[in-house]
Amino acid sequence: MLNVSGLAVARGGVCVLSGVGFTLAPGQALILRGPNGVGKTTLLRTLAGLQPPLAGSVACGEDVIAYAGHADGVKPTLTVTENLTFWAQVFGGGGIGAAMAAFDLDGLADRAAQNLSAGQKRRLGLARMMVTGRPLWMFDEPTVSLDAASVGLFETAVRVHLAGGGAAIMATHIDLGLTDARVLDLSPFRPQPGGVRTGNAPTGDEAFL
Amino acid sequence: MIALLRRDMAVATRAGGGFGLGLAFFLVVVVLVPLSVGPDTAVLSRIAPGILWLGALLACLLSLDRIFALDFEDGSLDLLATAPLPLEGAVAVKAFAHWLTTGLPLTLMAPVLGVLLNLPVPGYRWLLASLLLGTSALSVIGAFGAALTVGLRRGGLLLSLLVLPLYVPTLIFGAEVARRGAEGMPVATPLALLAGISLGCAALMPFAAAAALRVNLR
Amino acid sequence: MMPELGKYAVEVISAYVVSVALLGGIVWASLREGARVRRELRSVEARRDRADG
Amino acid sequence: MQHKDSVPISRRMSLWEYANPKKFMQVSGAALPWVGGLAALCLAVGLIWGFFFTPDDFRQGSTVKIIYIHVPAALMGINAWLMMLVTSLIWLVRRHHVSALAAKAAAPVGLVMTVIALATGAIWGQPMWGTWWAWDPRLTSFLILGLFYLGYIALWAAIDNPDTAADLTSVLCLVGSVFALLSRYAVLFWNQGLHQGASLTVTQDNPISDIYYWPLITSISGFVLLFLTLVLVRTRTEIRRRRLQALLNRERMA
């Protein structure tokens, strides 16, 4: 489903990770780990196609990835149902019933998003992934501000998604109950100072060193 | 696409969406003009088309940064950029939503304010027509400016600086239509040129704006 | 040997003065900025060379 | 025959080598004293010749001497923008950093040229037209060009990431060029609408006799060379600045 090889990514013109490679098959989950600032978010954004890689390749079909960043993408003045329906329609119009149920949002359906608690808003943001109908979900710190019960809901949703032939990549610090997920520690992929050639077109600072 | 249009309209018109602010600003500008240039109705009716156009343009400018900034801050833009809808289409739809919630109400309000400035009677028709055409160009050009400045803190003032020179042709032709209309002169040429600018902008600017957005999302 | 500028002396001279001042200003600003950046770059390069040993 | 054809192609390819920052620094460093010296020489000769050794015009009196500044500055005001347009395109298509930085370097120079053209125009206009400022199409177009320069410079200054800034300013330059052209036509249309036929002509429209022509040409070459010198100096500064930033970034990473 996703084949990454020799990937180097840059943040602010500086190469932060290089030589990243892995493959992800349907039904698999990958957890990215590493200290703050190692480049987890940058890697996810590169995989999602939001920024071009410095080197290497990301092989992935069209319209496969759904990416949820730090922010929830929730409009405060719209209700929970309106928010979710909007994303469902943008991504080709699936129903929102399953997502509402999976993240226990039914009781909040008609509440404006600005009146939700941080955790409830987060659940809404995660439910967004379910209505996209995309097979590969990518999360950046999905469990921030979630309580234990909500983390459980999230795990279940991901597990159901994997069982249905989907896949997931998430950057997180806490231990989720996804025992069969692979873990990729990004620390070894930091470029060694002075010693890295990133191959093709020098981007950012490279040309000036 | 319709979903995006509906959502943007809903966000703009609900409480805190700033829907009425542009209209109120337009009203204030038009009220202040006679207070500053004096109550002479002959002078006012001569400058009325230009003042109405300028007021509408400034009111439109006020709300431009909302086109993308809110979606950028709350992460919606990331998800929109990876959605099946091409980003160019999303930009066009958002600019259209901006026009429906800003340009169109301003256009409809302009004749009412024209009364305050003694706009000559034949001018109303052409004022409406020119604003209807011209504000659409203002929205699309503004969307481009908003896309350029979306990632910047305090980008509002820079946005005005970038967009105002781009507004020059639209303003000139639009105000010319309204002025000639008010003076009973033929308006066909500037009207055609204004229509050309509006159509050209609507066709091409979404591409430039989408390119700028992609750069800003990196 | 000042040329006879007639009644427009003020205009002509002020035009030249303004222009030369503006040109001088951009030249001066460019050179000063260039010197400043060059100095900073030298110090950073020296620091790097020391660190490399 | 085929062998012969391949030579110019390879030569053309090698032109892009100068877009490499290191190569550019070498070449520009060697060329700079010559270009700068020639610029100073041409400017001095052109302006002194024009100011001291040309006769007054029978109609405009001594104000005609302003032409040796006004026309070259106006010319460079426009050509600097054209150069920025070309270098922006090169950056967008071929991603050569030097190209983007040259556009950044040229903008303030172009703005100064535009301001000089406007200022000398106003000073000249006062005795000739009886007003400092008229909303003549040419003057108005230049004012708008000045606004475009301001916006372009402000956008460069506002963005932290240099590659993002280069991309966005290039897009602005392209779109701005189209709108500057549109504005030019719009202003022509608008002014004719305001005062019928009352167009104010600048002496350029009259054929210039030789006695004014040669100092003018010298002065124009001086301005072109001065522009070139300043762009080289400023581009070198920008390259150094980027290198400085790159080294600091690397220190931070280590």
pLDDT of residue A201: 41
What number is the ipTM of this complex?
0.89
pLDDT digits (tens, 9 = 90+) for B44-55: 999 999 999 999
Contact D246 A201 (CB under 8 A): no
Which range, A62-66, A166-170, D150-154, is most confident? D150-154
Q: Is the pLDDT of residue B201 over 80?
A: yes
Closest partner residue to D230 (CB to CB) among C18, C22, C30 is C30
Domain count within chain A: 1
Cross-strand bridge partners of residue A57: A5
Give the residue-averaged pLDDT of D89-94. 91
Domain spans of chain D? 32-204+216-253
Q: At A97, give phi and psi (nearest 5°).
A: -60, -50
Contact D243 C41 (CB under 8 A): yes
The C-alpha of A183 sits at a distance from chain D's nearest C-alpha, in angstroms, of 25
Q: Is the pLDDT of residue B146 over 90?
A: yes
Distance, first Cα to last Cα, chain C: 63
Would you list the DSSP string of A176-203? -S-TT-EEEE-GGGSPPTT-----SS--
CB atoms within 10 A of CB B32: 12
Q: How far apart are CA C8 and CA D125, in angstroms?
A: 12
Residues from D contacting A (CB-CB < 8 Å) are: 20-21, 95, 97, 160-163, 239, 242-243, 245-247, 249-250, 253-254
Give the residue-averaged pLDDT of B169-177. 93
Q: Do chains D and A touch (3 or more CB pairs under 8 A)?
A: yes
Continuous segment of H or E residues that includes residue A155: helix A148-163
User: What percentage of residues in chain B have a pLDDT greater than 90?
Assistant: 63
pLDDT band at A49 (very low <50, low <70, confident <90, very high): confident
pLDDT of residue B140: 96
Average pLDDT in chain D: 83
Contact D190, B178 (CB under 8 A): no
Q: Is the pLDDT of residue C7 over 80?
A: no
Domain presence at residue A182: no
pLDDT band at B169 (very low <50, low <70, confident <90, very high): very high
Contact D161 A203 (CB under 8 A): no
Continuous segment of H or E residues that includes residue A10: strand A2-11
pLDDT of residue A10: 83
Domain count within chain B: 1
Q: Which residues contact D197 (CB under 8 A, 6 or more apart)?
A: none
User: What percentage of residues in chain A have a pLDDT greater than 70?
Assistant: 92
Contact D147 B164 (CB under 8 A): yes
Residue pairs between chains A and D whose CB atoms are closer than 8 Å = 44
Q: Which residues contact D253 (CB under 8 A, 6 or more apart)?
A: A14, A191, A193
Q: How far apart are CA D169 and CA D146, in angstroms?
A: 16
Q: Is the pLDDT of residue B106 over 50?
A: yes
Q: Is the pLDDT of residue B128 over 80?
A: yes
Contact A75 B79 (CB under 8 A): no
CB atoms within 10 A of CB B218: 18
| Smallest CA–CA distance from D244 into chain A, residue | A208
Q: How far apart are CA B124 and CA B99, in angstroms?
A: 20
**R_g of chain B, CA atoms, integer Å:** 18
Q: Pick from D190, D192, D196 the residue to mutate for testing the B interface (most B CBs within 10 Å).
A: D190
Contact A193 D20 (CB under 8 A): no
Write out chain D residues lying below 8 Å of B161, CB-based. Answer: 147, 150-151, 154
pLDDT band at D209 (very low <50, low <70, confident <90, very high): low
Contact D183 B152 (CB under 8 A): no
Domain presence at residue A105: yes
pLDDT of residue D14: 56
Average the pLDDT over each of C15-29, D16-30, D148-162 and give the range with the smallest value: D16-30
pLDDT of residue A197: 47
Contact D175 B164 (CB under 8 A): no
Continuous segment of H or E residues that includes residue C21: helix C9-52
Higher pLDDT, B164 or B20: B164
pLDDT of residue D4: 40
Q: Which residues contact A156 (CB under 8 A, 6 or more apart)?
A: A102
pLDDT digits (tens, 9 = 90+) for D192-206: 644 333 333 444 455
Give the residue-averaged pLDDT of A175-188. 78
pLDDT band at D148 (very low <50, low <70, confident <90, very high): very high
Closest partner residue to D161 (CB to CB) among A13, A201, A207 is A13
User: What percentage of residues in chain C have a pLDDT greater than 70?
Assistant: 89
Average the pLDDT over each of C37-41, D209-213, D246-250 and give the range with the smallest value: D209-213
Q: Can you give the residue range of the structural domain that contains A104? A: 73-133
pLDDT band at A193 (very low <50, low <70, confident <90, very high): low
The C-alpha of D169 sits at a distance from chain B's nearest C-alpha, in angstroms, of 9
Domain spans of chain C? 29-53
Contact B176 D190 (CB under 8 A): yes
pLDDT digits (tens, 9 = 90+) for D95-134: 888 999 999 999 999 999 999 999 998 888 888 777 888 8
pLDDT band at A192 (very low <50, low <70, confident <90, very high): low
pLDDT of residue A95: 78
Q: Can you give the residue range of the structural domain that contains B151? A: 2-217
Give the residue-averaged pLDDT of A100-107. 84
Q: How far apart are CA B26 and CA B61, in angstroms?
A: 11
Higher pLDDT, A108 or C3: A108
Q: Pick from C1, C14, C27 the residue to mutate for testing the D interface (most D CBs within 10 Å).
A: C27
Give, in degrees to the nearest 5, the angle at Cα B46 between B40 and B50.
120
What CA–CA distances, in Å, run from C7 to B100, C10, C18, D63, D79?
A: 60, 8, 19, 9, 34
Average pLDDT in chain A: 82
pLDDT band at D64 (very low <50, low <70, confident <90, very high): confident
Higher pLDDT, D210 or C18: C18
| Smallest CA–CA distance from D163 into chain A, residue | A204
Continuous segment of H or E residues that includes residue A162: helix A148-163
pLDDT digits (tens, 9 = 90+) for D6-57: 444 444 445 666 678 888 888 999 999 999 999 999 999 999 988 888 887 7
Distance, first Cα to last Cα, chain B: 24
User: What percentage of residues in chain D have a pLDDT greater than 70?
Assistant: 85
Contact D70, D124 (CB under 8 A): yes
